[in-house]
């Protein structure tokens, strides 16, 4: 098995991990965070928040590795965009880690609130509101936006040399702008995360990643495209001599 094939398999596995762990983390945490008495709800469901945090951390680690795994192949076709793709997906992972920290801080704050009693709740509600707003801004806007930009870049690199089938690249080029628009609409409170419109804009991108992941694991990158590039490079070297 050559290095390009290994890179495809690793990237495919990481793509599946990122998608599979991402949605359950939101399902576990979102209902608690959206409750009017969210600090009380968090205290009563601490293990649920811990599980959501654990899933986010795994997702963040996977996102860090996706473009890094693909970079040795992508840089052969466009080194600048390949590096940009790595950068955006690493930034995405940083936002995910920051969101996980916010969840853990909310757990600590909820415990302190219960210990202090309701007479001191205004202070905790203020701090909690800031943490909650930070978490939502990070996970519902910045994380989605950086995910979409990073994925859009490598789908663009895929397209011209047919590193993966054209239909799969085009699918990504269509759905990732929708994903980015979901983050912008969420920022301006025009749609609700996990709502119907949000799902219409986001889920096609998640499905594309799953299909791409399966393709990379089973088929890998198109060896003909890589061979054609190598032949072109060798020809250019020969002409220079």
Token pair 């490598």 is at which residue? 154
Distance, in Å, from the CA atom of 30 to the CA atom of 80, rounded to the nearest integer, reads 37
Cα atoms in the Cβ-side hemisphere of radius 13 Å centred on 102 = 22
Output the six-digit token pair for 188: 């301006």
Using 50 as the pLDDT threshold, list the residues of the chain that sit under it.
none
Strand boundaries in the chain, DSSP class E: none
Residue 179's pLDDT is 96
How confident is the model over 72-95, as pLDDT tens digits? 999 999 999 999 999 999 999 999
pTM of the model: 0.90
pLDDT of residue 235: 57
The DSSP result for 134-161, as a single string, is HHHHIIIIIHHHHHHHHHHHHHHHHHTT
* Number of domains into which the chain is organized: 1
- Structural domain including 87 reads 3-240
**Contact between 182 and 191 (Cβ < 8 Å):** yes
- pLDDT recorded at residue 239: 57
pLDDT confidence of residue 166: 95
Residues 6+ apart with CB under 8 A from 99: 56, 135, 138, 139, 143
The answer to whether 61 and 92 have CB atoms below 8 angstroms apart is: no
Contact, 93 vs 56, CB < 8 A?
no
Long-range contact set of residues 23-26: C-beta below 8 Å, sequence gap at least 24: 23/206, 24/52, 24/55, 25/52, 25/53, 25/55, 25/56, 25/59, 26/52, 26/139, 26/193, 26/194
């Amino acid at each position: 098995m050559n290095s390009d094939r290994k890179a495809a398999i690793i990237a495919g596995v990481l793509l599946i991990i990122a998608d599979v762990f991402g949605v359950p983390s939101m399902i576990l945490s979102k209902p608690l965070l959206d409750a009017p008495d969210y600090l009380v709800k968090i205290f009563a469901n601490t293990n649920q928040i811990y599980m959501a945090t654990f899933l986010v951390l795994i997702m963040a680690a996977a996102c860090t590795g996706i473009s890094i795994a693909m970079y040795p192949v992508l840089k052969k076709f466009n080194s600048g965009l390949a590096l940009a793709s790595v950068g955006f997906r690493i930034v995405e992972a940083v936002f995910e880690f920051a969101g996980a920290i916010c969840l853990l801080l909310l757990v600590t704050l909820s415990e302190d609130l219960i210990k202090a009693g309701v007479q001191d709740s205004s202070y905790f509600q203020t701090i909690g509101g800031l943490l909650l707003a930070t978490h939502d801004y990070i996970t519902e806007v910045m994380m989605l936006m950086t995910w979409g930009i990073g994925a859009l870049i490598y789908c663009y690199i895929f397209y011209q040399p047919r590193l993966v089938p054209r239909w799969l690249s085009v699918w990504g080029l269509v759905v990732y702008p929708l994903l980015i628009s979901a983050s912008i609409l969420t920022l301006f409170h025009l749609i609700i995360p996990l709502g119907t419109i949000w799902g219409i804009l986001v889920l096609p991108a998640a499905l594309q990643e799953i299909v791409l992941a399966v393709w990379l694991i089973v088929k890998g990158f198109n060896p003909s495209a890589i061979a054609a590039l190598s032949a072109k490079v060798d020809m250019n070297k020969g002409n220079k001599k």
